[in-house]
Amino acid sequence: MQGFAKEFDFNESKIKQSIRKRFVTILDKNIEKNLKKLGYYEKVMRGEVKCAIFGKTITLNNISLIIPKDGEYLFICDDFKCYVEALERWT
Ligand SMILES: [Zn+2]
């Protein structure tokens, strides 16, 4: 697992770079407020929003990315694999 940490750091900074450059929303603070603004708060609370990669149910605690696509939003959970996959697919 020692090599993993290094690799993770590298990917993390690379990802942050691409997030800055491209059109991806990250929610950290004010998750509720942002979800309400997007009109997804109720859906998330009802467990109706799934991660766009592996279909895990999105909750207030596991959202990592919201990606605008075709007038809707794709939600990505905090699984690192989903994170990377999402950025590769949609940025
Ligand atoms: Zn996921």
| Interval between CA 56 and ligand 1 midpoint (Å) | 5
What phi, psi does 54 have (nearest 5°)? -110, 5
Alpha-carbon distances of 35 from 24, 49, 65, rounded to whole Å: 15, 11, 12
45 contacts: CB under 8 Å, gap ≥ 6: 60
Structure tokens at 85: 């996959």
Alpha-carbon distances of 91 from 42, 43, 57, 72, rounded to whole Å: 27, 25, 22, 15
Neighbours of ion ligand 1 (CB under 5 A): 51, 53-54, 56, 77, 79, 82
Structural domain spans, the chain: 2-90
pLDDT in tens, the chain (91 residues): 444 444 445 566 666 665 555 555 665 567 888 899 889 999 999 999 999 999 999 999 898 888 888 888 999 999 989 988 998 888 7
Between 80-90 and 2-21, two packed helices, what is the crossing angle to 10 degrees?
40
Structure confidence at residue 11 (pLDDT)? 63
